[in-house]
């Protein structure tokens, strides 16, 4: 005990002070976060950021361009909805004339349709007399407007009654023939292909062309079958 007092006295004389004891305590604060909470927080941050971008960008574009935001009435035409917009013209601007949408008329066309029977192929009996039509070949030149041709074939002689003259031997429709075009045709299928047994040598074959859409007769060609 005396030794300790002596050491304290010596330190006091030398100007050393005895260290003072402090009651300082270290405080530690800990926060616990679950992974689910962090994930939800990130999710909401992303949503807020997207909403901010969604509202800021359109408003910024409108302010920059000086456009007034207004709701335009809509006109419903069938299934299509067309916005009714009003355009303003600058002072002094002349209105452009409407474009001419009419199809130009080709003045080089004569307006005529030429139909020519080029060949009639028949089948003869043992005596060499034609008894049956196998093929009809013909050509047509269209110097009129576009149309889809429908051909009807007849054959008869001048003495046949109207019932025979009205019999359609073949009926065929072909693709559209454009104005200024020519085309060769061949008919090989017939509703009735046999000729008259009494007067086949005098029978004539007729090819009549109609507009397939309007059924209007446009032209006719004829040829004696035995020629």
**Single pTM value for the model:** 0.53
Residue 166 binned pLDDT confidence (cut-offs 50, 70, 90) = very high
Q: Rounded to 10 degrees, what is the CA torsion of 158, 162, 164, 166? A: 110
Residue 19 has pLDDT above 60, yes or no: no
Asked if 112 and 91 touch (Cβ cutoff 8 Å), the reply is: no
Report the chain's mean pLDDT, rounded to a whole number: 76
Confidence of residue 201 (pLDDT cuts 50, 70, 90): confident
CA distance 138 to 117: 4
Q: What is the pLDDT of residue 10?
A: 64
What's the angle, vertex CA 155, arms to CA 154 and CA 156, rounded to 5? 130
Please report where in the chains the tokens 């800021």 appear, as a residue. Answer: 56
Q: Cα-flanking dihedrals φ and ψ of residue 88, to 5°?
A: -105, 140
CA distance 161 to 184: 32
Which CATH architecture describes the domain 113-224? Sandwich (2.60)
Per-residue pLDDT tens for 34-85? 677 777 788 788 888 888 887 776 555 554 555 444 444 343 333 333 333 3
What pLDDT does residue 67 have?
46
Q: Which helix (H) or strand (E) holds 13?
A: helix 2-13
Domain boundaries, the chain: 30-67, 113-224
Cβ atoms within 10 Å, residue 84: 8
pLDDT tens figures, 130-150:
889 999 999 999 999 999 999
DSSP 45-114: HHHHHHHHHHHHHHHHHHHHHTPPP-PPPEEEETTEEEE-----PPTTPPPPPPP--SPPP-TT--S-EE
Q: Residue 204: which H helix or E strand, with range? A: strand 204-211
Give the whole-angstrom CA distance, residue 50 versus residue 65.
Answer: 23
């Amino acid at each position: 005990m005396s030794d300790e007092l002596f050491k304290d006295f010596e330190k006091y004389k030398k100007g050393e002070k005895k260290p003072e004891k402090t009651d300082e305590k270290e405080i530690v604060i800990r926060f616990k976060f679950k992974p689910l909470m962090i994930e939800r927080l990130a999710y909401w941050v992303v949503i807020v950021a997207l909403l901010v971008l969604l509202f800021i960008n359109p408003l910024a574009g409108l302010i920059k361009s000086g456009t007034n935001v207004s709701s335009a009435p809509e006109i419903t035409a069938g299934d299509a909805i067309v916005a009714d917009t009003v355009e303003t013209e600058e002072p002094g601007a002349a209105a452009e004339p409407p474009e001419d949408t009419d199809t130009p008329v080709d003045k080089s066309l004569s307006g005529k349709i030429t139909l020519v029977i080029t060949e009639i192929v028949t089948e003869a009996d043992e005596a060499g007399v034609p008894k049956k039509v196998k093929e009809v070949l013909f050509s047509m030149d269209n110097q009129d407007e576009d149309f889809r041709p429908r051909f009807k074939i007849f054959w008869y002689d001048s003495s046949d009654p109207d019932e025979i003259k009205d019999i359609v031997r073949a009926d065929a429709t072909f693709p559209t023939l454009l104005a200024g075009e020519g085309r060769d045709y061949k008919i090989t299928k017939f509703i009735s292909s046999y000729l008259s047994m009494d007067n086949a040598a005098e029978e004539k074959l007729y090819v009549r062309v109609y507009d397939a859409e309007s059924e209007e007769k446009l032209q006719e060609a004829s040829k004696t079958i035995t020629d």
